[in-house]
Amino acid sequence: MTASAWGDGLATVTDTGRVLDVWFPAPALGPRPADARVPPAFEALTSADVRRRTERRPISVEIADLDRPPADVPDAYLRLHLLSSRLVGPQRLSMAGIFGVLPNVVWTSVGPAAPEAFEETRLRLLADGPVTVLGVDKFPRMVDYVVPAGVRIADADRVRLGAHLGEGTTVMHEGFVNYNAGTLGASMVEGRISAGVVVGDGSDVGGGASIMGTLSGGGSDVISIGERCLLGANSGIGISLGDDCVVEAGTYVTAGMKITLPDGRVVKARELTGRDNLLFLAQQRQRRARGGGPRGGRGRSWSGLNADLHANV
């Protein structure tokens, strides 16, 4: 992949000089072209907000090596935009140390604000009408910065900037997608895709299902789900799945869990990580993994995604 990137953006900067966020409408891979110019429209959008004590100003950012950790807030925001704009896939650039780089921000209906002395800020904002606090976090909602083509997101609060949603993906109301994670094609997301997790084309993360991420539980291991997999309602995994796998509803498969195979052998689930055509079942308090064989065997358990539902054009 291209190791460098650049973008012209609009930054929100406090009166103390701290950058709260940056919006990049057209991020790009590769070195900045010699004839690149800041969009003329940026000049009209440059402004100050005395109520939030912030200023919106143009900024140009270049990243020479995406394999190196983010250096500052503008660098981190450009990386998040690259992911959500589908220019870079999850786990294809460094996000090491991003929590130490990004500041906590009060995300309001009138724009980002510093959390320090926010009640005073709220008083100034209320003078011009109601203000809604959407959250206090390091990451904003993806759709406030990037709306990728061909996706449906039922609740914008559930998808962070830096999520990668493949075309045809649907994220339902209880679905959640973290940064540097997401789907590579048309998928149904009704459960949780944690940071670092990658879900293949045609897979379904059922209601209440959970996938361990790299921030907790999964440690440094990157969990992935292959193509045409189904995680049943309230199920979960702490290992990677290959293609054409099914996890029965309510079954949580952790790496250290003992799995009884059809031939009677007992192995730890981590020994099955990444294998294709597996069906994980919970029966009489035991978890069993049964090879699905060719796709025909697995197909009797799950018929795949609803094509009409994922026609997001």
Distance CA 114, CA 239 (A): 39
Three-state SS for 295?
Answer: helix
For 131-188, the DSSP string reads --EEEEESS-BGGGT---TT-EES-GGGBBTTEE--TT-EE-TT-EE-TTEEESSS-E
Query: Which of 116, 120, 190, 227 is the catalytic position?
Result: 190
For 176-221, the DSSP string reads EE-TTEEESSS-EESSEE-TT-EE-TT-EE-TT-EE-BTTTBSTTP
Structure tokens at 110: 């009138």
Distance CA 38, CA 277 (A): 51
Contact between residue 9 and residue 22 where contact means Cβ atoms under 8 Å apart: yes
Distance CA 149, CA 196 (A): 22
190 is catalytic: yes
Three-state SS for 80?
Answer: helix
Enzyme catalytic residues: 190
